[in-house]
């Protein structure tokens, strides 16, 4: 199988990675125990190990390439051992275990993923943490990876067929590649038998035909760049959402909250907008409550939220199956005391973003990765990482989820809290997923700046209750466990 070049954005994620700010995605799934299917952490780890071993992408690592200086490709890990990636952990405090495990750096010489089965009391629900490098998957593909490990992702084994008799070799063996660098398979160049994977010269007619699209792309890139520059001059958000950059370890906090989708719909039907608008308003209200409880002033410029939007990758772009993400920038109305006014402010801001489209404006900065050569990604990564706080203050991402009952070893999954990476200089990332009638929110925070992430999770319930009360639904609805 030909090795696949990393997409421009995946290459950027790979180069943005640092010990103090690892670019890891995660998800914490909570499972109820089934008396008819008794399991323990070691047994579940063995089950996941067997399933992960049969997933081709989970056997691949990132390697540098000769072709496309500064680029990288997915290649098979010749020393792949799935037991290196799957672990059983016994900890009474699941949230603390998740924060610690997400902070640990992964070995970049091996496939960048890990799975932990976290078990507390013998009869209590257990959790499974799936941890992936952002270069390996975006939110949607991360869900696909996780689904492979669940009971519903197991495919029946295909009937064995006799292997065809090998034909006699008529071509010379492929040359050995130098250690450390790799030459991905690309369309062949006639006349160079020693380099079957090297691309030929471009067709001049194709170059001429592609000129209009290249001009449009250049114009779009300039527009996004100027919008990013203007946005970086806007005043930043509350100091409570800032954190000192870390060059060594990265201590974190994790907390989760689960809210009822029906409550979100009650607010939407009364006040208009979308369920996503309601969720963003709940996050804004929770930030206000949390800041007030800490003695911080919520008035002043609200935090600028970056809201990622998945985009389809165009045909012909290198790394065709990789990440391609745009986004919206939204100033969260944390300073607004009236919950309905907060919701109205969110709705109006999102309406403006949607009218402009996800491929324009400062939130589309990730699309510029397609216009940057591979070598530039490596040199520009430290600068880009350091400038993230100039553009946004908090990441708020919605991860799509399959809304069907899911099980592991016969145990029913009841919650799924996604985890987003923290950018340099920021103290909080909010990830949201909807599963089986509930909105599950994962809060990933800098341990020094936000030691009370659990208080912010509690504030999410209070924020939704406040909205329901303002809509005449009563505060008790959002306080259900």
Whole-number pLDDT of residue 363: 52
Average pLDDT over residues 148-165: 63
pLDDT at 389 over 80: no
Tokens of 319: 């790394």
pLDDT at 25 over 50: yes
Structure-token match 């939704």, residue found: 464
Q: Using alpha carbons, select from 392, 440, 447, 405 the residue that is nearest to residue 419.
A: 440
Residue 3 banded pLDDT, cuts 50, 70, 90: confident
pLDDT digits (tens, 9 = 90+) for 63-76: 988 766 678 999 99
pLDDT digits (tens, 9 = 90+) for 421-436: 988 888 899 999 999 9
pLDDT at 196 over 80: no
Whole-number pLDDT of residue 12: 83
pLDDT digits (tens, 9 = 90+) for 285-317: 999 999 999 999 898 888 989 888 876 544 444
Q: Using alpha carbons, select from 303, 398, 290 the residue that is nearest to residue 346.
A: 303
Q: Looking at 182-191, 274-283, 363-372, 411-420, which range is the least confident one? A: 182-191
Mean pLDDT of the chain: 78
Q: Looking at 322-336, 345-359, 453-467, which range is the least confident one? A: 322-336
Average pLDDT over residues 210-237: 52
Query: Where is mean pLDDT largest: 38-47, 384-393, 462-471?
Result: 462-471
pLDDT at 253 over 80: yes
pLDDT digits (tens, 9 = 90+) for 114-137: 999 999 888 889 999 999 999 887
pLDDT at 198 over 80: no
Average pLDDT over residues 402-411: 89
Residue 180 banded pLDDT, cuts 50, 70, 90: very low
Whole-number pLDDT of residue 139: 58
Distance, in Å, from the CA atom of 192 to the CA atom of 318, rounded to the nearest integer, reads 23
pLDDT digits (tens, 9 = 90+) for 446-478: 998 899 999 999 999 999 999 999 998 754 444
Q: Using alpha carbons, select from 239, 240, 167, 222 the residue that is nearest to residue 367.
A: 222
147 vs 160: which has the higher pLDDT: 147
Distance, in Å, from the CA atom of 410 to the CA atom of 317, rounded to the nearest integer, reads 42
Tokens of 199: 């691309």
Average pLDDT over residues 379-386: 66
Average pLDDT over residues 76-87: 92
5 vs 265: which has the higher pLDDT: 265
pLDDT at 28 over 70: yes
pLDDT at 411 over 70: yes
pLDDT at 191 over 50: no
pLDDT at 256 over 70: yes
């Amino acid at each position: 199988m030909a090795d696949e070049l990393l997409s421009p954005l995946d290459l950027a994620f790979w180069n943005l990675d640092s010990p103090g700010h690892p670019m890891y995605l995660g998800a914490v799934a909570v499972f109820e125990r089934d008396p008819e299917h008794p399991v323990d952490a070691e047994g579940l780890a063995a089950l996941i190990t067997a399933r992960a071993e049969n997933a081709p992408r989970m056997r691949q690592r990132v390697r540098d390439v000769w072709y496309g200086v500064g680029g990288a490709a997915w290649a098979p890990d010749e020393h792949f051992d799935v037991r290196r990636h799957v672990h059983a952990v016994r900890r009474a405090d699941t949230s603390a275990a998740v924060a610690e495990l997400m902070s640990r750096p992964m070995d970049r010489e091996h496939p960048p993923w890990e799975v932990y089965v976290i078990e507390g009391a013998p009869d209590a629900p257990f959790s499974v943490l799936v941890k992936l490098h952002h270069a390996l998957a975006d939110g949607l593909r991360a869900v696909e990876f996780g689904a492979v490990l669940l009971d519903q992702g197991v495919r029946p084994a295909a009937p064995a067929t006799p292997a065809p008799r090998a034909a006699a070799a008529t071509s010379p063996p492929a040359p050995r590649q130098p250690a450390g660098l790799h030459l991905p398979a690309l369309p062949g160049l006639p006349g160079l038998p020693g380099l079957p994977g090297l691309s030929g010269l471009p067709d001049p007619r194709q170059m001429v035909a592609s000129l209009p699209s290249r001009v449009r792309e250049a114009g779009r890139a300039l527009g996004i760049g100027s919008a990013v520059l203007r946005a970086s001059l806007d005043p930043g958000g509350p100091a409570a959402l800032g954190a000192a950059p870390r060059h060594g370890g990265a201590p974190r906090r994790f907390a989760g909250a689960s809210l009822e989708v029906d409550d979100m719909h009650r607010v939407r039907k009364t006040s208009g907008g979308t369920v996503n608008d309601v969720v963003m308003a709940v996050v804004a209200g929770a930030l206000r409550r949390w800041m007030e409880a800490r003695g911080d002033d919520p008035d002043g410029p609200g935090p600028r939220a970056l809201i990622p939007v998945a985009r389809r990758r165009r045909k012909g772009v290198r790394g065709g199956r990789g990440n391609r993400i745009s986004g919206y920038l939204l100033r969260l109305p944390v300073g607004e005391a009236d919950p309905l006014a907060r919701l109205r402010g969110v709705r109006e801001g999102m309406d403006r973003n949607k009218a402009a489209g996800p491929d324009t404006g400062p939130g589309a900065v990730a699309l510029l990765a397609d216009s940057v050569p591979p070598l530039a990604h490596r040199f520009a990564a430290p600068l880009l990482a350091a400038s993230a706080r100039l553009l946004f203050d908090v990441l708020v991402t919605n991860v799509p989820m399959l809304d069907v009952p899911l099980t592991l070893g016969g145990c029913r999954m009841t919650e799924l809290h996604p985890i987003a990476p923290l950018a340099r200089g920021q103290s909080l990332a909010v990830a949201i997923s909807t599963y089986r009638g509930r909105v599950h929110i994962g809060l990933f925070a800098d341990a020094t700046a936000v030691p009370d992430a659990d208080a912010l999770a509690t504030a999410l319930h209070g924020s939704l209750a406040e909205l329901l009360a303002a809509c005449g639904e009563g505060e008790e609805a959002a306080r259900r466990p």
